[in-house]
Amino acid sequence: MTQLGEGRTQAMALRALTKRFGATLAVDRIDLDIPTHSFYGVVGPNGAGKTTTLSMATGLLRPDSGQALIHGVDMWREPSRAKAMVGVLPDGLHSFDRLTGGELISYAGLMRGLPKETVRERRDDLLAALDLDAAGSTLVTDYSAGMTKKIGLACALVHAPRVLVLDEPFEAVDPVSAGAIRRILQEFVASGGTVVMSSHVMALVERLCDHVAVVGHGHVLAAGTLDEVRAGQDLEARFVGLVGDIADQRDLAWLRQS
Amino acid sequence: MVATVLRLKYTTVRHQLVREWWRALLLIGGAVWSLSLVPAVVWASVQLLDESAEVRADILLVVAAICIAGWITVPLLVTGLEDTLDPGRFTTFGVSAKQIAPGLTLAAFLTAPALFFTGAFVVLMLSWREESAAALAVALVGAALTVAVMVLGARVAVAWSARAVNDRRTRGVLLLAVGLALAVLGSVVWIALRDGIDSALQYEAQTLMEWLGRTPVGAGMAAAESATYGRWWSAGWRLALMAGTVAVLALAWRDSIAHALVNPVHRGGGRRRRADAILASASDLPSDGTSGASRWSRLAGLWRADEPTRAVRARMLVSWGTDARYLVAAAGVITLPVIFFAIAMPVLGLDTRWAFVAPVMLAASIGWGRHNDVAYDHTALWLDIVSGSRGRAVMAGRAQAVLVWAVPATLLAAAGILAWTGRWYAAPGLVGATLGTLGATLGVASVTSVLLPYRAPAPGENPFGAEVGSLGASLGAQLLSSAATMLVLPLVTVPLVLALTVHAGWGWVSLGTGLVFGAAFLLGGLRLAGTLYDQRAGSLLARVS
């Protein structure tokens, strides 16, 4: 029960989380504490292990070793309790694309065990808030990338989770919708919720997040409040400093037009 | 470009072999098996040597017709065949169909089955060597063109079916055409065999073969006979017909490539649906997991139907109605029973009581066909996994969605067979065996679909293709689920056999064992599958993607 005491102030706590794919060590004993009521950004270069880490924290990928605690509940020991507290938006996975957008939200709500009337109300609220009203009766297979992101976010929100884990939530989303999503997430954090978000866009992370972790080669390179990690620089410069710039900055002379 | 495409293919195969060593075993096993057929082919060729030219031509014609039918239908029925060079994969490279078609065509001819059939037909043609050199030459050309029709025909069939099945407008027409073709085939066979197999072989078969010899199916084989008797005109136009067919097929194949390059299949065609089918399926009663008074669970009376189960069932019913991959699967289940009933039974001259096998076979095809059900969700199943420990609901909902159409379909088939045989006294036995088989096979399939999922076509992908890397896994899963099915089937089918052979009273036993064992296997299977689903939730996503 020491974990509980320690985990209570942590919305999410990762302990020595490790995942190996064949010869590649994708995530190497990652420790991360994500305080409740924080807007936490996870940044890292491509292939750093962000998605793998978030998948292990949300019950989508069993870790080789280590723990993922959601408000003190072990995701892999008590999955039902832990999953109920988390809303997930994965990146690059299919959705049940023969359903319409509205049906997909209903499905997510019913799978979370919500009663029918609640699902109906929340579905309509979410479609309106994410500007998907017109798309609510269109099949998800006909959605653009940005609309798919938005409907995925709606599915993650429908059961009013305590922790939101979002993999690249703003990718391919237009500025107007991005503004709407930003407002929803900021209000969610202001009301006591926790958002964990991965992103490649440093400016976005600086603007939204109060905490940030830089992940590279399966390790946490730096983590803490935004100011601690930035250490006086801007985030992008600090990020490049931590993960290292491209070694061979070759000049593509043949690409020049004149 | 030809060399590039071929190199791409062999590099892909090599990488697969390096990554998964068991693939090499499969490859070697397949090669050994093919080679083991060589003596049989040589033996057949020697036997043909002793036959008269007419008989030899007739036999070869039937062989060619069966092979062509097989080449065209097998890739449609057995998904998961090799599709490294699916034209759709080239969409992003900015190549034209003209550039890649020759390479893709050559690659199609350099696959193991194509090479084997070429070799086999060449060996068979050697049986013409004692007629005349000209006859042998005509036979060899005819054989080459016939194999070309097989290989190209298979590609065109897959490409066209994929197109048709993904298009809402042509989908209905396609299903109708398949049904009509089967009905025509069935009635032709039955009419032909009305007077017994001997009379059929004597009269109808002769006429049929004469006609087949004038179509691209058999012209390549019939040409050699014409050449033997010096009917050069007859041999000539037959070879020309074959060459023309090959040319048309090649053009159609190129057109399909061109179409695939600019029309990715995954689109819903802008369809809209106002009503929320998922929400409509939810119960109006408060969800406490024991809403036993609901219409559905009272009707079924057998399993719980809480909100998640209902949601999964509603989702799967949408898939069964609209997803090309499920439509193909649903259409495929009738193949085996129809072949058995319309072809195997009359040809083998079986007693009409054997017709009772057909509905049982249909039930088994439906149940066994679901042995990879979970993988058809592809990575979309993340939503089920993150929603909590929903394994039981997921598996029960899936099975219910199958039962919704499978129970009426199998009962209809059973009623049809009862009417056809007039043995209504066997009704309880047949109904018991059919429903028992459906329940037992679905129960087994639900367990294997969680234990041994293998990659299936992703949503919106070509329903006839497979993800690269699935062959070994699919073979293992298919063998295991077949073996398990074979083990449980006698429990529900033996009483029916006794009812038909020993005493009609066994029919009531069959009804009892069918319903009890069927329900027990289904419920037990679903329970186990649900528990396994939750236990393996952390690795399922990786297994199916």
Domain assignments of chain B as residue spans, ordered by start = 2-262, 302-544
- Give contacts of A96 with chain B, Cβ < 8 Å: 315, 377, 380, 383, 459
Q: DSSP label at A139?
A: B
* β-strand partners of A163: A86, A194
Task: Give the domain range for residue A195.
Answer: 1-85+163-245
- pLDDT at residue B291, as a whole number: 44
- pLDDT at residue B123, as a whole number: 92
- Reference A43, options A251, A225, A171, A221; nearest CA is A221
What does the block give as tokens for B162?
């994929």
* Residue for token pair 């070309």: B148
- pLDDT at residue B70, as a whole number: 85
How far apart, in whole angstroms, are the C-alpha atoms of residue B427 and residue B414? 8
- pLDDT at residue B22, as a whole number: 67
Please return the burial class of B408, using the count of CB atoms within 10 Å of its CB with bins 0-12, 13-18 and 19+: exposed
Measure A155 CA to nearest chain B CA, in Å: 9
B471-501 and B506-535 helices, crossing angle to 10°: 160
Q: Report yes or no on A238 lying in a domain.
A: yes
Q: DSSP label at A213?
A: E
- ipTM exceeds 0.85, yes or no: yes
Q: Please give the helix or strand (H or E) that residue A225 lies within, else none.
A: strand A219-225
Looking at the structure, tell me whether residues A63 and A176 fall in a common domain.
yes
Please return the burial class of B349, using the count of CB atoms within 10 Å of its CB with bins 0-12, 13-18 and 19+: exposed
Q: How many CB pairs under 8 A join A and B?
A: 158
What does the block give as tokens for B461?
């992908």
B276/A61 CB distance under 8 A? no
Minimum CA–CA partner of B541 in chain A = A60
Q: Which of B18, B271, B278, B316 to mutate to probe the A interface, most A CBs <10 Å?
A: B278
Identity of the residue in B268, B284, B459 whose CB atom sits nearest the CB atom of A116: B284
- Give contacts of A55 with chain B, Cβ < 8 Å: 541
- pLDDT at residue B302, as a whole number: 46
Residue A145 binned pLDDT confidence (cut-offs 50, 70, 90): confident
Looking at the structure, tell me whether residues A26 and A57 fall in a common domain.
yes
What does the block give as tokens for A16?
């020595």
Q: Please give the helix or strand (H or E) that residue A18 lies within, else none.
A: strand A10-21
What does the block give as tokens for A149?
């992101």
How far apart, in whole angstroms, are the C-alpha atoms of residue B360 and residue B103? 45
B386/A61 CB distance under 8 A? no
Looking at the structure, tell me whether residues A56 and A173 fall in a common domain.
yes
Q: Which of B387, B392, B543 to mutate to probe the A interface, most A CBs <10 Å?
A: B387
Looking at the structure, tell me whether residues A181 and A239 fall in a common domain.
yes
Torsion over CA: A234, A239, A241, A244 (sign): negative
Looking at the structure, tell me whether residues A204 and A226 fall in a common domain.
yes
* Order of strands across the sheet that contains A73-74: A24-35, A10-21, A65-70, A73-74
How far apart, in whole angstroms, are the C-alpha atoms of residue B313 and residue A59? 23
How far apart, in whole angstroms, are the C-alpha atoms of residue B479 and residue B129? 43
A93/B379 CB distance under 8 A? yes
Point out the least confidently predicted range of A8-12, A55-59, B45-49, B106-110. Answer: A8-12
Measure B497 CA to nearest chain A CA, in Å: 43
| B385, A59 Cβ separation under 8 angstroms | yes
The CATH number that applies at residue A58 is 3.40.50.300
How far apart, in whole angstroms, are the C-alpha atoms of residue B327 and residue B331? 6
3-state secondary structure A59-71: CCCCCCEEEEEEC
Q: Report yes or no on A253 lying in a domain.
A: no
Identity of the residue in A63, A99, A111 whose CB atom sits nearest the CB atom of B318: A99
Residue A5 binned pLDDT confidence (cut-offs 50, 70, 90): very low
**CB-CB neighbours of A145 under 10 Å:** 9
- Give contacts of B171 with chain A, Cβ < 8 Å: none
Measure B405 CA to nearest chain A CA, in Å: 19
Minimum CA–CA partner of B284 in chain A = A116
**Domain-ending residue, one of A143, A160, A177:** A160
Looking at the structure, tell me whether residues A216 and A111 fall in a common domain.
no
- Give contacts of B272 with chain A, Cβ < 8 Å: 100, 137-139
**Domain-ending residue, one of A131, A160, A189:** A160
Look at residue B263 and give its three-state secondary structure: coil
How far apart, in whole angstroms, are the C-alpha atoms of residue A136 and residue B467? 31
- pLDDT at residue A2, as a whole number: 41
Looking at the structure, tell me whether residues A239 and A177 fall in a common domain.
yes
Residue B190's contacts (CB-CB under 8 Å, 6 or more residues apart) are B342, B346
Instruction: Report residue B223 CA to chain centroid gap.
Output: 32
pLDDT, tens digit (0-9, with 9 covering 90-100), for A199-242: 988 999 999 999 999 998 889 999 999 999 998 889 999 999 98
A115/B287 CB distance under 8 A? yes
Looking at the structure, tell me whether residues A128 and A155 fall in a common domain.
yes
B384/A111 CB distance under 8 A? yes
Give buried/exposed letters for B357-371 (b at 16+ CB in 10 A, else e): bbbbbbbbbbbbbbb
Residues of chain B with pLDDT under 70: 20, 22-23, 26, 77-85, 165-172, 186, 189-202, 264-271, 284-304, 460-473
| B362, B402 Cβ separation under 8 angstroms | no
- Reference B17, options B2, B32, B4, B30; nearest CA is B30
B267/A107 CB distance under 8 A? no
Look at residue B47 and give its three-state secondary structure: helix
A97/B268 CB distance under 8 A? yes
How far apart, in whole angstroms, are the C-alpha atoms of residue A200 and residue A26? 18
Q: Degrees (nearest 5) of the Cα angle B465, B471, B473?
A: 120
Identity of the residue in B378, B388, B538 whose CB atom sits nearest the CB atom of A94: B378
Looking at the structure, tell me whether residues A167 and A238 fall in a common domain.
yes
How far apart, in whole angstroms, are the C-alpha atoms of residue B317 and residue A72? 39
Identity of the residue in B276, B384, B537 whose CB atom sits nearest the CB atom of A106: B276
Q: Which of A96, A97, A143, A155 to mutate to probe the B interface, most B CBs <10 Å?
A: A96
What does the block give as tokens for B299?
């009707």
| B356, B269 Cβ separation under 8 angstroms | no
Domain tally, chain A: 2
Looking at the structure, tell me whether residues A171 and A48 fall in a common domain.
yes
**Domain-ending residue, one of A144, A160, A176:** A160
Looking at the structure, tell me whether residues A53 and A41 fall in a common domain.
yes
- pLDDT at residue B269, as a whole number: 58
Looking at the structure, tell me whether residues A119 and A81 fall in a common domain.
no
Q: Report yes or no on A26 lying in a domain.
A: yes
**CB-CB neighbours of B102 under 10 Å:** 14
Minimum CA–CA partner of B311 in chain A = A107
User: Helical H runs in B94-167?
Assistant: 97-109, 112-125, 133-165
Identity of the residue in B269, B278, B312 whose CB atom sits nearest the CB atom of A103: B278
Residue B306's contacts (CB-CB under 8 Å, 6 or more residues apart) are A113, B287, B289, B290, B291, B393
